[in-house]
Each structure stands twice: as C-alpha cells, then as structure tokens.
Chains A and B, each alone.
Chain A
Amino acid sequence: MATSPRPSAADADATGPAIELRGVTKTYRTGTLALGPVDLDIDRGEFVSLLGPSGCGKSTALRMIAGLAAPSSGRIEVGTASPRGRGEHPISFVFQEPTLMPWASIRHNVALPLKLAHVASAEIARRVDDVLARVDLSEFAEAFPRELSGGMKMRTSLARALVTRPDILLMDEPFAALDEITRFRINDDLLELWRELQMTVVFVTHSVFESVYLSQRVVVMTPRPGRIAATFDIDAPKERGEEFRLSADYAAQCREVSRALASASEGALSTREAQA
C-alpha cells in the first residue's frame, strides 16, 4: 500500500487528468513481466475501455490504479475533483464477480462502505435507498444475494460502488458473466449513470462490441506483457442506445478495433516466435 497512489487535496485542481500512468510495469514474483511499460492519461469524466486478451495485465493495471496492488516500477497519479465528505470515497471498484457478502441483505451489502466510514445510520439509510432506486433494486433491499439473478447481483455491486459518490469508477470485466440481453440493459444503465454522475470510468473488458458501445476511447492492449497497441476515439454522442448499436457506424468502428486487437495479438505472437 505504501507505494500506491492516494488522492490528496493537492490533486484537487480540476484541470489535470484524473488518472496518470507513467512507465508503469508489473513483474510477478516468478519474474515474468506481466504489464508495461504503460503510459496513459485519462481525463476527468472520460469513459475509457482497456481492451485486450485474457492475461494481458489489464486487470492488474486496474488493481494498481485502485491501490489494491503496487506497480513494480513507474508512477500512478490519481486526482480527485473535490474535498470529500464522510463516507465519500474517490475511487470505487466493481469486480468481475458481484463480490457480495452472502450473509448480508442487499441493503447491508450496499451500506458497507458507509458503515466502514462510520456514517450516521439515518444518512446511510437515505443514501442506500437513493442508490438502490437508481439501479432499480428498491424492492429487493431486504433480499439476500442468493435470492437474486446474476444481473441483479451485479446491479447491487454497482450500487455499492456508487454509494460512496466516487469520482472514479473502476470496472473489471463486470458484465462478462451475464447473458447478452441482461448485459445490453445494464450497459445502457451504466451509460446513463455515467452521464448523470459525471464520473471517470475505466472499464476493463475483452469484448470489442462492449468497449466500442460504452466508451469514448478504447485502449487496445497486447498480450503479455500488456502494452498499449492502439488507441481509438469512438465517434458517437454520449447518449447511445439501440439505434447506435444497430448502426453501420458502430459496426465499422467495431471492425476497426477488432482488426487492431487481432494484429496486436499477432504481433506479439511473431515476436515470441522470433525470440524462440
């Protein structure tokens, strides 16, 4: 934790990037270089996807931004916009699994970050109700995780991430396990929340379609060691929906990103062969 970035009041100028990675690498204890070096700036309020094959270190990058893992070398700066109140946390993390406490009701799961920060119980109740309404789970507040579907569990996880009013939302392949219909719906809900709450979102995925649909910028990464192979600015309005998903424009951009992803993977393969 010592080397991980902690946002401070000094970062509170609203002009700099929200997240700044400089020469960041991660070497596993076994000696394999998993990631980097990576240089990346993410602006405030931006929606960025990290797209790459499994094992390219994109999740590791996300964990390092969150401070859950330390980089082996390089520097990560995380800036937050405003001074924080009690129970407000600049960074939230949504895992690939819902990661809920099975012994606690949905309400208590969502309330967890606030309880850990000793927020008054009346305020906890108010904020949890509010955020549950946002993700359409008000009726299920007293249910237990096992009683909910996969999509609803993921919504709970999202609600818990939002309850701390984060500036930065980090998401690690959060919807990979959901069926397509559920995923489309939750994607639209996520976009709406992002527009409304003006968060910076870093979204890790291995789905070309999801990354193009959601983001303003797609960062394509190479297989291990994960490096940035290409960056695409997605040409679409912030407000997206079924129309965009079915448009030729969307298909064309998917094709382009897909091609970049394929060539990034091939490039890595050929260098590996050359080394052998």
Chain B
Amino acid sequence: MSALPASRDDASPLSARAGLRVALPIVVLIAAIVAWDLVVRLNQIPPYVLPGPLLVASTLIQDWPVLFGSLLTTLWTTLEGFVAAAVGGIALALLFNQSRLLEYSLFPYAVVLQVTPVIAIAPLLLIYLPQETAVIVCAWIVAFFPVLSNTTLGLNSVDRNLTGLFRLYGASRWQTLLRLKLPAALPYILGGLRIAGGLSLIGAVVAEIAAGSAGAGSGLAYRIAESGYRLNIPRMFAALLLLSTAGIVIYLLLALLSHLLLRRWHESALGKDN
C-alpha cells in the first residue's frame, strides 16, 4: 500500500488497488507465457516433450470439436456430483441437527468416507457400478463432506438468544429451521459449496482416469490419459488448459452466488472500509 505513488486528490486509492489486483496476475500470466515460448524456441524442445504455447493454442482450436464434447461430458459429471453432494450434504446435516442419535451413529462413517483417498476407491466403484454412475459417485464422495461439515457448523452457530426468542414465541421446529437455522447457516453452507465445486471436478477427473482405457469414457480426463498414451502432448496440454479453466469458472460462479446472497447482510461480503 505505502509503495503506491501518492496520486492526485481525485484518484481514489481504493480503485487504484483494485486495478492492481487485476493487472498484476495478468502481467504474471503474460510473462510466464513469453518465458515458456522462449524456453521452447531457444532450446528447440520437440513438441512431444514440451509444446510451445502457440502450438497448444492451435491444437485447442483444431481439436475443438473433440475437446469441447469431452469438456461437456466432464462438466455434466461434475454438475451431477456437485448437486448430489450439495443436496446430500445439506440434507444429512439437517438430519444430524434434528437427531443427535443419528449424528452419533453416522458421522464417523462420513469421516471415513472423506479420509479414504478417492483414487483408491474409484477402481472398486468401477467394478460394482456402471461407469457413468461410478464417476458421479466419485465426484459425490469427494465433494459432500465439506458441505456436510460446514452446514453442521453453521446450524450449530445460531445465536443462543435468537433461539430463545423463537422458543418464547412458540415457533415450531419447521419454522425454527426455515426462518432461523437455515439463514444463519447460509454463509457456512455457501463456503462449503465453494469448496465442493472444485472438489467435484477433481472427483470426476479422478474417476475418469481410473476408468481410463478400460472405460468407454469420453471426458476431458480420458482425453488427457489417451493423449498421453499416444504421445499427443499438445492435445494433453490443451485438455489440461480447458480443465483448469472449467475449475476457475466453477469457483467464480459459486463466489458470485455467495456474494449475491450475502452482500446485504453478512460481514464476509462487506468491504473492509465498512
């Protein structure tokens, strides 16, 4: 901050800072691409070892029909896994909140599911389930725990006096849930969903890779594996690029959703000057 040049009175330091926050990552990106290109050119690295950025870009355009189809497949799996994780995680947290017995009996197994690496479970799932289902289940397993634990935390963080107030006015269980607990837990739920979005993409990719050559898969991860076998490294890079772009977009969308829902009232959505 103090390194910023003191500008004229009419230029607000806040907008200058916001500009820097956008400009700096872009500068870094451009520098990295230029460096990448130079390394490839100067050392004359063959494309099957490390393709240059221009080759990756042209491959992306050339192979677009194949890659785009794969992207849609992977995104669809991710979405299904994410929705299942969101609904499952929130519903399970609500059940736990209503019944302590249920929470005590089931929560340890939710943890077990979370700590077992999904890459180790995926081959098993692929044996027992049809491939499409197995992939979705993988995405779900990875993504549901942050939703569950965050929602549980949120439901347990309700202001004690507000709870007392609802009791004083004879609110039913349902009213307390709908008007008090869920809104109070909303910031936590959204935090969980933001983590789950990225994780369900990871889950989908892991399952596709585990299915690998055995499956009739056509997702992006499958393309990456396939391109690897065929030494089609430029396409591998192009698919990878698409995959991380998808991850970023998912994150941004969920951050936007969170901002829209919380901006009027929650601390996390307020500017630092407020």
Q: A99-B162, A144-B264 are in contact. Are A115 and B168 (CB under 8 A)?
A: no
Kindly state the separation between the CA atoms of A67 and B164 in the bound complex, as whole angstroms.
Answer: 9
Best-buried of A67, A91, A112 by chain B (most CB within 10 Å): A112
Inter-subunit contact B170/A117 (CB<8 Å)? yes
Kindly state the separation between the CA atoms of A32 and B171 in the bound complex, as whole angstroms.
Answer: 32
Please give, as numbers and ranges, the residues of chain B lying within 8 Å of A95 by CB-CB distance: 161, 164-165
Q: A89-B169, A103-B265, A117-B170 are in contact. Are A112 and B164 (CB under 8 A)?
A: no
Is there a chain B Cβ closer than 8 Å to A101's Cβ?
yes
Is there a chain B Cβ closer than 8 Å to A102's Cβ?
yes
Inter-subunit contact A116/B162 (CB<8 Å)? no
Kindly state the separation between the CA atoms of A68 and B162 in the bound complex, as whole angstroms.
Answer: 11
Please give, as numbers and ranges, the residues of chain A lying within 8 Å of B168 by CB-CB distance: 66-68, 89, 91-93
- Looking at chain A, what size class is its interface with the partner chain? 20 to 34
Q: A112-B179, A115-B179, A146-B265 are in contact. Are A99 and B165 (CB under 8 A)?
A: yes
Inter-subunit contact B161/A101 (CB<8 Å)? no
Chain B: minimal CB distance from A72 (Å): 19
Chain A: minimal CB distance from B167 (Å): 7
Interface residues of B in 152-186 (CB under 8 A from A): 159, 161-162, 164-171, 175, 179-180, 183-184, 186
Is there a chain B Cβ closer than 8 Å to A188's Cβ?
no
Q: A102-B266, A144-B264, A144-B265 are in contact. Are A116 and B183 (CB under 8 A)?
A: no
Kindly state the separation between the CA atoms of A66 and B164 in the bound complex, as whole angstroms.
Answer: 10
Closest chain A residue to B266, Cβ basis: A102
Please give, as numbers and ranges, the residues of chain A lying within 8 Å of B175 by CB-CB distance: 116
Interface residues of A in 83-136 (CB under 8 A from B): 89, 91-93, 95, 97, 99, 101-104, 112-113, 115-117
Inter-subunit contact A97/B161 (CB<8 Å)? yes
Please give, as numbers and ranges, the residues of chain A lying within 8 Å of B161 by CB-CB distance: 95, 97, 99
Closest chain B residue to A1, Cβ basis: B167
Please give, as numbers and ranges, the residues of chain A lying within 8 Å of B162 by CB-CB distance: 99, 101
Inter-subunit contact A113/B169 (CB<8 Å)? yes
Kindly state the separation between the CA atoms of A117 and B166 in the bound complex, as whole angstroms.
Answer: 11
Interface residues of A in 141-182 (CB under 8 A from B): 144-146, 164
Instruction: Select one of A66, A89, A93, A103 contacting B186, CB under 8 A.
Output: A103
Closest chain A residue to B162, Cβ basis: A99
Please give, as numbers and ranges, the residues of chain A lying within 8 Å of B266 by CB-CB distance: 102-103
Closest chain B residue to A115, Cβ basis: B179
Please give, as numbers and ranges, the residues of chain A lying within 8 Å of B183 by CB-CB distance: 101, 103-104
Kindly state the separation between the CA atoms of A187 and B265 in the bound complex, as whole angstroms.
Answer: 29
Closest chain A residue to B170, Cβ basis: A116
Q: A68-B164, A95-B161 are in contact. Are A102 and B169 (CB under 8 A)?
A: no
Q: A112-B179, A116-B171, A116-B175 are in contact. Are A102 and B265 (CB under 8 A)?
A: yes
Closest chain B residue to A146, Cβ basis: B265
Closest chain A residue to B182, Cβ basis: A103
Kindly state the separation between the CA atoms of A63 and B156 in the bound complex, as whole angstroms.
Answer: 21
Please give, as numbers and ranges, the residues of chain A lying within 8 Å of B167 by CB-CB distance: 1, 68
Chain B: minimal CB distance from A84 (Å): 12
Interface residues of B in 244-262 (CB under 8 A from A): none
Chain A: minimal CB distance from B21 (Å): 25
Please give, as numbers and ranges, the residues of chain B lying within 8 Å of A117 by CB-CB distance: 169-170
Chain B: minimal CB distance from A164 (Å): 7
Please give, as numbers and ranges, the residues of chain A lying within 8 Å of B270 by CB-CB distance: 146
Please give, as numbers and ranges, the residues of chain B lying within 8 Å of A1 by CB-CB distance: 167
Closest chain A residue to B183, Cβ basis: A103
Closest chain A residue to B176, Cβ basis: A116
Known: A116-B170, A117-B169, A117-B170. 8 other contacts (CB 8 A): A67-B168, A68-B168, A93-B168, A95-B164, A97-B161, A99-B159, A99-B162, A103-B186
List the interface of chain A (C-beta within 8 A of B): 1, 63, 66-68, 89, 91-93, 95, 97, 99, 101-104, 112-113, 115-117, 144-146, 164
> What are 15 sample pairs from A and B whose C-beta atoms fall under 8 A apart?
A1-B167, A89-B168, A92-B168, A93-B165, A95-B164, A99-B161, A99-B165, A101-B180, A101-B183, A101-B184, A103-B265, A112-B169, A116-B169, A116-B179, A164-B169
